[in-house]
Structure formats: C-alpha cells, structure tokens
Structure 1
Amino acid sequence: MGHRRSWSISAAVVALAFGAFGAASAQAPSQEQTYCGRDLGQWFYCDRPAPPEQPEERSENSPLRSMRAPEIAELEQFQKELEEARNIATWRPSPETVETYYRLQQVALDKGGMFADYYRRLVWTNPELDYTVKRPVVEVAKHGWTDDRLADRDLFLRNVSDKVGLFYVYRGSCGPCTIASPIVKSFGDRFGMSVSAISADGAPNQHFPSARRDQGQLQQWGVRQMTPALLFFQSSDVDPRTGEVRPRRVRGANGQMMELLPCRKREGCLTYAGAGVMSLEDIAERLFVLLSKEPGTDF
C-alpha cells in the first residue's frame, strides 16, 4: 500500500511538471528561461553555470612572471652555460674549450667566495647568529666547554641512575661482545646504574654472572640480531594517582638546571641506544643526549 501511494505521488508530481511545461511552452521562451538549454517553466529553477576557469597564460609581462627574482633567471642561465661548457670540454677537449669552461668555473668560485665572506662577516657582527658561542670550535675555548659538559654529564647520569637502567644484549659466539662486556660493566659501576645482561644464545658471561637467557623479550622489544647491543629503560614520570608528569631536575656543575626528559608511558620507556662496541665515553654521551636534550638543541 505504501509503495502504491509513493508511486501515485511521484506520478502526480511528474504529471504536474509536464502540465506546467506544456503551459509554459505555449509562450515564447525568454533568454532567462532557456539559459539552461531548455524551457524551464515556472516550477523549475536553474542557477546560471559559472564559466569554466581558464588557466592564466604566463606571458613574459604577466604579474606571476614579474614576481620572479631576476637573479634566479641569471643563475639558471649561468648554470646551463657552465654545464654545457663542461660537457663540450670533456667531449671535445682543446685549449679553447677547456679555457672556456675554466673561466666560467672561476666565475662560480668567485661568487662562492664572495658569499662565504659575507656569511662570516654577518656571523662576526651578530653574535646571536654565531653558533660557536654556543659550542666553541677554537681550541682554547673548546677545552673549557668540554670540561663543563663532561662534569654536567657525569652529575646528570649519577643523579638519574635510580630512574634509568641498562639492558646489555650479548652472545657467547660474538667476538666483539668479549670487548664490550667489561666496558659496559665499568660504565654501570662508574655511574651507579644497574645493568641487566641478556644472553641471546644462552651463553654465560664472566662479567655478568647473573645474566639471563632470552625468553622472547628481545623479539618483543624489536632488538635486531646484531650484538652487542644496548637499550636503556626509564621508569615512568606519570603520577599514577593524578596522571600528571613529574619531571626530574638536576643541578649542573655551574649551577644551571638540567631536566630529565620525562617518560610519559605508565609502563615505562624502553629505548634502543645502539649496537656494536662502544667506549665508556660514547655510552655516557649517548645516554646524556637521549635523556636530557630535546632534538635540535644540542647539535
């Protein structure tokens, strides 16, 4: 019954539309009535379609082309000439072709030298742009900066050793592991940081008598097959009651404050620190950067 009623309503609408169309067609259609390509009648509406947008032609005098810096065009033309001269001199070497290429190359070198001179003058006269103020490269200043950094690093690692621990992965059949094992052991002793050794093949380790056999955790952690490998675990900084992050701050050698980058996971954070034989200083530097430096602030 519902389908019949729906059909009858539709038929009535169609009949009404055709009736209106027939009445309107008796009159001469105006331009406004027929701009959609047919006589619309009084019951139909049609918006006049907007003309399709034509792509703007970029003539030599167009605004888009005039916005382009002339130096760019000059550089592109010069690069083209330099490349062509190089190819010609390489393929048809002669005193003339080689000299042509050499003279063009000399222009490029002169331009580069001028840029370098302006660059260093800018840095010298604007200390806020001088990266060497932050990280000295001059030998006499570099020693002082290095000493301060090492002192800060050691203070930091000792003060966060209760929140950070190492996982050392080795194999009994791994030659480099025999070199790395005592180094990792010395690192843990120096900074008071716990080290848990995991044997990937079940072999014992004289430096880590309590080493544990891999029970599938290495695959779960995504540890690669290469050994020796180091990972560090950081306990969560999220308050279990409030959900707030509680950062750990450490005072450096010169009184400035350093902050342990917080672990925002309630279960703690496990980070891959690298593989292969690393010196004690390299391990300390990696952990110091990964635990205390935001990307881009210590490079």
Structure 2
Amino acid sequence: DKDHGNKCGWFWYEEPEPEVDDESEKEREPLPPLPARAELMAMHPEDLKTLRDDYLNQAVWKPTPENVKDYYVVHDTIRRKSLAFTNVTSLVMLQNPELNVGREYPITNPGREAFTKVRREGYKSTLTQYRNKYGLIVFTKQGCDYCVIQKGVLNHFVKQHAWDIKEVDINRDPQIAATFNVDFTPITILVERNTKNWMPVAVGSESLRTVEENAYRAIRLLRGDTSPEQFFVMEHEQGGVFDPTAPGGYQ
C-alpha cells in the first residue's frame, strides 16, 4: 500500500485555501513629487490631463493638505496654459480678421440690433423682388387645429409681403397632395411659377419669421444662388466666416 500520510485536498474532504490576490492586498504606492513648474508648463496637454487625474485620485483617496495642494498645482498649470491660449487667440483674431466671427456676429446690444436689421432687410428685399415669380401652397384638412394656426401665420405673411397663397385640402384634392408628396398637414410649400420647381418652407405650424427665412433660403437655392451647404448663408454673408465653402482668407 502507498503511504497516505499527507491526507489533504478535495479527496479528503478539505477545501483548498483561497489564493491571495497580491494586487488587491498590495498597498498603493504614493505618487512621486510633482515636477517643477517650468516642466509642468512644458508638458503635453494629454500628459497633463493624466497627471491631473492621478493627483486628483490621490487627493480624494488621502485628502491631506499636501495631496490636495499637489492636485491644485496641476489644475492651476492647466488653467494657466488655457489662459495663455485664450490670450493668443485674442491677438490672432485681431491680426487675422478673416478668422474672426465677431466681425459678422456682434455680441454688443447695438451690434445685435444692426445685425438683426440687416438680416430683416435682406429677407424683405428678396421676398419683395420675387413675389411675382413664386407663391406658397399650404396643405390643410378639416379638423386640423394646427392648420388653423398656420393659416393665421400665412395671412400675416400675405399682409407684409403681398404674396399669393393657395390653400389645398388634401382630402378634397388628393392628386395635388400626391404631386407634392404631402400626406400630413399642415405643410407649406414654395412653388416657382411656370416651372416644376418647389420646396417645403414650413412643416407643421411655424412662426412668421421661420416662414420668411425659409422662403428666402428656398428662393436662393432654387435660383442656384446658393448650395445646400450654404443653405443658412445669407447673400451678404457669402465668402465670409459663416460660409462653409469660403476659403477663409487662406489657401
């Protein structure tokens, strides 16, 4: 017979000792001292972010005055580098006005008033110029409360711009509705006279301003004065900072 002096293990109804996870038992090592300020300022932003997260974790883990201070030293370094970027940005915007959005989008109250006035005059001028070449069709149906609201909006549009507007009930004139792919109401469509060109300018009940702006944009798009990428670009903004197709003053 074999010697069974060491009677241990599963065969002898004894569960083995659980293995000790060295990583979980091991005490986390404290972070090394921070580099000098000059070295911190020279670090890459991604490295600074990693450093900030590491020292934040340490400060939350062991919130001693020293650990919390180390975190805020890194945080302050990031703040200073961000401030330097902001300062240089202001200088670059002054030296390169073609990159400065402020020249076409003012933030002061007088500037905003002028901005709004220029846009309103642009809409009005175009809508007046082409009112005999384009018209609006509003598709409605009986029992549609939103249609009543939209018709009221379009009545104001007629009073201000003297356009022709036709109402079409999709249940009474299903063929016309099918021609424009309309299966719900209200929807307002701009049509070019004596052509097959048309484009929606309001889906559902929209404000007077929205109808005006979209009618302006639709006219410019149908005439080929603008591209889909420039749909929100007004005529006076073409080639400027809000024109995604403009070179921006550099090649």
Give the TM bin, normalised by the shorter chain: 0.5 to 0.7
Q: What is the CA distance between 1:215 and its match in structure 2?
A: 0.9
Tell me the residue number matched to 2:37.
none
Say if 2:57 is the partner of 1:129: no
Contact residue 202 and residue 210 of structure 2 kept, 8 A? no
CA positional deviation for 1:165: 1.3
Q: State how far apart, in whole Å, the 2-side matches of 1:229 and 1:88 are.
A: 59
1:94 aligns with 2:63: yes
Shift of 1:273: 1.8
Instruction: Return the match for 1:232 from 190, 213, 227.
Output: 190
How many residues are matched?
186
**Structure 1 residue aligned with 2:131:** 161
SS of equivalent residue, structure 2 residue 106 = coil
Partner of 2:77: 107
Q: Which amino acid aligns with 2:188?
A: L
Q: 1:215 aligns with which of 171, 174, 179?
A: 174
Aligned AA (2:212):
A
Q: Is the 8 A contact 2:136 2:164 kept in 1?
A: yes
Using the TM superposition, give the Cα deviation of residue 97 of structure 1 relative to its aligned residue in structure 2, in angstroms: 5.9
* 1:274 aligned partner: 202
Opposite residue 286 of structure 1, the aligned amino acid is N
Secondary structure of 1:176's counterpart equals helix
Query: Are residue 290 (structure 1) and residue 218 (structure 2) matched?
Result: yes
Task: Indicate the larger mover: 289-298 or 159-168.
Answer: 289-298
Contact 2:190 2:199 in 1 (8 A): yes
CA distance in 2, matches of 1:224, 1:103: 63
The residue type equivalent to 1:271 in the other structure is: M
Instruction: Choose the corresponding residue for 2:51, options 63, 73, 81.
Output: 81
Deviations 1:13-39 (A, max 9, x none): xxxxxxxxxxxxxxxxxxxxxxxxxxx
Q: Name the CA shift for 1:190/1:105 in 2 (closer, same or farther; >3 Å).
A: same
CA contact (8 A) 2:190 2:218 kept: no
Q: What amino acid sits opposite 1:221 in the alignment?
A: F
| Matching residue's letter, 1:127 | P
Tell me what 1:178 maps to: 148
Aligned residues: CA RMSD: 3.2
Which structure has more RCO (C-alpha within 8 Å, separation ≥ 6)? 2
In structure 2, the CA distance between the partners of 1:196 and 1:122, relative to structure 1 (3 Å rule), is: same
What letter corresponds to residue 192 of structure 2 in structure 1?
Answer: Q
Aligned residue for 2:160? 190
Whether contact under 8 Å (2:133, 2:193) holds in the other structure is yes
Distance 1:270 1:160 in 2: 14
Structure 1 pair 99–287 and aligned structure 2 pair: CA distance change class (3 A): farther
Tell me the distance in 1 between the aligned counterparts of 2:173 and 2:49: 59
Please list every run of 5 or more consecutive structure 2 residues that lacks an aligned counterpart in the other structure. Answer: 1-40, 235-241, 243-251
Alpha-carbon spacing, 1:124–1:221, altered in 2? closer, same or farther (3 Å):
same
Quick one: distance in 1 between partners of 2:197 and 2:70? 62
The whole-number CA distance in structure 2 between the counterparts of 1:172 and 1:85 is 67
C-alpha separation between the residues in 2 aligned to 1:214 and 1:183? Answer: 22
Shift of 1:145: 3.6
Q: Distance in 2 between matches of 1:290 and 1:97?
A: 61
Distance 1:223 1:98 in 2: 64
Structure 1 gap segments, 5+ residues each: 1-70, 203-212, 237-266
1:100-153 deviation line (CA, Å, top 9, x unaligned): 544433333332222122112221233333323234332223323432332232
**1:84 Cα deviation after fit:** 4.3
CA distance in 2, matches of 1:79, 1:230: 51
